[in-house]
Amino acid sequence: MKKALLLSLLFLFAGWFANAQDAPISEFDLYGTWVFEWNDREDPPERLYYSKRIDSDSILSENWIRITLLAFDECKIESSYSGNGWCATETSTSSATPQYWLYTPKNETVLIFSNNEPIKKMSKTELEKNAISNPEQWTEYQIIRLPNNQLGLE
């Protein structure tokens, strides 16, 4: 009897853990820093995606783009790209220009406002209307599920 109960509990927990991998993604799961990095001397990776980082993690590549998704639909974008080309010692930051992001849970995408011209602070409803009426000003990233229950932006 104990064996049957133990096996039942084992299968119950195994099913629960397997199902947790397909759990819906919340907006809070996306907050934080996402980095895409590559070296010119290496072959490009098979999949080009941004991986989630802890702020204290160092960037090891000479070329990188960092997107930080913040609360209140704001974001910050930084890169090693300068107007003169790729440069590991120089950082370009678009933090002077307000940047915004939206999460669409229905199709698990993140939209990032990508216009260099400043716009006034908008509510979430205004941002959603702007994304529909001006899609050329927004860049879409698909959320992907990576091994070890990690997420990426592709």
- What is the number of other CB atoms lying within 10 angstroms of the CB of residue 24? 7
Q: What is the C-alpha separation between 151 and 154, in angstroms, rounded?
A: 10
For residue 10, give Cα distances in angstroms to 3, 19, 64, 102, 148.
10, 14, 44, 39, 21
Highest mean pLDDT among 51-55, 84-88, 107-111: 107-111
Q: What is the mean pLDDT of residues 94-110?
A: 79
pLDDT digit string (tens) for 6-24?
Answer: 555 455 555 544 444 567 8
φ, ψ of residue 128 in degrees (nearest 5)? -65, -40
d(CA 25, CA 106): 10
pLDDT of residue 87: 38
Quote the pLDDT of residue 62. 74
Q: Is the pLDDT of residue 114 over 50?
A: yes
Indicate whether 137 pLDDT > 90. Answer: no
